């Protein structure tokens, strides 16, 4: 296995709108991110991934881009970005940015030209047709939007204000590659590439009967056959020319075809985010996760990628509710479940990503009314469910469990009125538990969630086996216990996490040296609810 800087890194995802407001307008900005770089450095972060900060109408909070080479005014300007990049590099860290290539905003000049007339040179830069089909978008509702000026429909797998680019058009690809290289020449250290598995479209075998019920077009438009040549061209025209880190958001990619995506011989990215295990929780399950299936899926990816490429490890991001409130228990066992799930994923083979606020155990917000939510997907869900006759209370139960806004509430820095995020009322409500759940309250507590993350990061940086060692699942006789080893020719480490709110009997390894635990007191004969431990154990010769 080749050694690479991005394999040995710990990454941190910043959602700039919610991270830190520097100018008192209630909206996070680039200068706010810069002001918190020392915090990230002290945490032990090597790579910062910042979500879209481009010019945008903000229909989907920046993932609808109207100018790839300008900064959203609310976030600052290009000088603010250049300063951020420079300050990141001064601290020995790296900065990767979000790259949205599947679609633009409908306010992007390319689309404005495309929709101006049927014979415009950029008409074919997007996907148009005379009649719509009964395809549903990812955000709910029809995947086709009518344009009254040219009397045709355009495809949007996401929001109506996010028309899909036509990747079959070489002019589109050339324009995108020029933009990508412009950013790379600026000195950024790589990209997280959004929705990249959707760029190849498949219009075959899709029923067109508009009177039939909607079918999810986006499921058909994931990892379509023929996507690999497009991805290879993207890599060769951009990424391959630089020493950077690339992470693809690869919905629909399975471990069986992962070699084409991330193999060291012909991979198009260094690693991908896979979401197979994210489907193990639903609003109906309220709390908890099927640990047996979680072990199966995570281990399949660990072994499937072994010797071929590299994993991207995560349990939270900007598109999911908070892990401690879904998979864990944010009431009786808040600290324990936050740290147990952290320990479970963090020491696997791959580069671990931490989403902002995850390192202090931020929870879902108690928003009660639809007006409290901002997310376009949440509002679309509410509208379409109500249109089908679902009662308001039932829809709100679903919204309160699944909304992406739970991960987008302002970062909780301290106990001041707006959590230290801003001096003004924020664009999205601050979780009221910020009065006790915040960075300042945890900074000097050796048993806090924040301190546990610092210890995990320190351990990974000081034990090569936790980066490059082989992964093996270990069954301890309890479905709720996720245990595995990491082993190389020099060392062996055992990671054990009880992911349930009941205790389990077990025998502590006799030859084990305890390296990390999330409980103050250790019982050698049982694991407490949501208890996690890491041991150095005897190497089998």
Task: Name the burial class of residue 454, with classes exposed (0-12), middle (13-18) and buried (19+) by CB atoms within 10 angstroms of its CB.
Answer: middle
- Contact criterion met (CB below 8 Å) for 530 and 501: yes
130 is a catalytic site residue: no
DSSP state letters, 325-389: HHTS-SSTTHHHHHHHHHHHHHTSSSEEEEETTGGGT-------SGGG---HHHHHHHHHHHHTT
Phi-psi label, residue 205: left if phi above 0, alpha if psi -120 to 50, beta otherwise = left
The whole-angstrom separation of Cα 64 and Cα 57 is: 7
Contact in structure between 482 and 347 (CB atoms under 8 Å): no
- 29 catalytic? Reply is no
Rounded Cα distance, 429 and 458, in Å: 33
Residue 135 belongs to what H/E stretch? strand 135-136
Residue 144 Cα distances to 106, 110, 134, 224, angstroms: 13, 18, 9, 19
Tokens for 314? 């995560």
Spell out the alpha helix ranges (H) of 209-318. 217-220, 227-237, 258-262, 291-305
Residue among 46, 80, 249, 375 flagged as catalytic: 249
Residue in the block written with tokens 């987008």:
408
- Asked if 129 and 152 count as a contact pair (C-beta separation under 8 A), the reply is yes
Gap between the Cα atoms of 355 and 337, Å rounded: 16
SS3 content of the chain, % helix, strand, coil (to 5): 35, 15, 50
CA distance 538 to 541: 9
Alpha-helical (H) ranges within 115-225 are 170-186, 217-220
Residue tagged active-site, from 194, 359, 375, 405: 194
Strand 470-474 vs strand 492-498: parallel, antiparallel, or unpaired?
unpaired
Active site residues: 194, 249
């Amino acid at each position: 296995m080749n050694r690479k800087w991005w394999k040995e890194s710990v990454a941190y995802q910043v959602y700039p709108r919610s991270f830190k407001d520097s100018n008192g307008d209630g909206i996070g900005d680039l200068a706010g991110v810069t002001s918190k770089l020392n915090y990230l450095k002290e945490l032990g972060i090597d790579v910062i991934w910042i979500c879209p900060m481009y010019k945008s109408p903000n229909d989907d909070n920046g993932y609808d881009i109207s100018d790839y080479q300008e900064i959203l005014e609310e976030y600052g300007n290009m000088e603010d970005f250049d300063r951020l990049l420079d300050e990141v590099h001064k601290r020995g860290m790296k900065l990767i940015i979000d790259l949205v290539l599947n679609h633009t905003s409908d306010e992007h000049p390319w689309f404005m030209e495309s929709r101006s007339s049927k014979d415009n040179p950029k008409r074919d830069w997007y996907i148009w047709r005379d009649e719509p089909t009964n395809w549903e978008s990812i955000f709910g509702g029809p995947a086709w939007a009518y344009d009254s000026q040219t009397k045709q429909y355009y495809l949007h797998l996401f929001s109506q204000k996010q028309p899909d680019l036509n990747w079959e058009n070489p002019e589109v690809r050339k324009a995108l590659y020029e933009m990508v290289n412009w950013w790379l020449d600026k000195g950024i250290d790589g990209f997280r590439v959004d929705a990249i598995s959707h760029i190849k479209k498949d219009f075959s075998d899709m029923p067109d009967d508009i009177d039939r019920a909607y079918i999810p077009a986006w499921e058909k438009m994931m990892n379509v056959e023929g996507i690999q040549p497009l991805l290879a061209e993207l890599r060769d025209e951009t990424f391959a020319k630089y020493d950077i880190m690339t992470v693809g958001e690869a919905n629909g990619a399975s471990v069986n075809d992962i070699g084409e995506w991330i193999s060291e011989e012909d991979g198009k990215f260094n690693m991908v985010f896979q979401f197979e295990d994210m489907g193990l929780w639903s609003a109906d399950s309220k709390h908890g996760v099927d640990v047996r299936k979680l072990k199966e899926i995570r281990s399949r990816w660990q072994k499937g990628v072994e010797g071929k490429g590299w994993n991207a490890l995560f349990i939270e991001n900007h598109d999911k509710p908070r892990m401690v409130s879904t998979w864990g228990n944010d009431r009786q066992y808040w600290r324990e479940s936050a740290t147990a799930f952290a320990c479970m994923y963090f020491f696997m083979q791959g580069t671990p990503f931490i989403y902002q606020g995850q390192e202090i155990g931020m929870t879902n917000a108690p928003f009660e009314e639809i007006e409290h939510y901002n997310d376009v997907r949440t509002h679309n869900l509410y509208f379409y469910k109500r249109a089908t006759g679902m009662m308001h209370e039932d829809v709100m139960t679903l919204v309160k469990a699944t909304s992406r806004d739970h991960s987008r509430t302002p970062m909780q820095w301290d106990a001041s009125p707006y959590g230290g995020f801003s001096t003004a009322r924020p664009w999205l409500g601050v979780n009221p538990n910020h009065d006790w759940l915040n960075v300042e309250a945890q900074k000097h507590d050796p048993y806090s969630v924040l301190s546990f993350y610092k210890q995990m990061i320190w351990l990974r940086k000081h034990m090569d086996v936790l980066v490059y060692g082989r992964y093996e699942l270990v069954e301890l006789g309890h479905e709720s216990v996720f245990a595995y080893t990491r082993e190389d020719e020099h060392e062996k480490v055992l990671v054990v996490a009880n992911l349930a709110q009941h205790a389990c009997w077990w025998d502590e390894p006799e030859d084990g040296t305890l390296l990390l635990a999330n409980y103050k007191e250790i019982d050698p004969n049982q694991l407490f609810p949501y208890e996690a431990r890491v041991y150095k154990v005897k190497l089998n010769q």
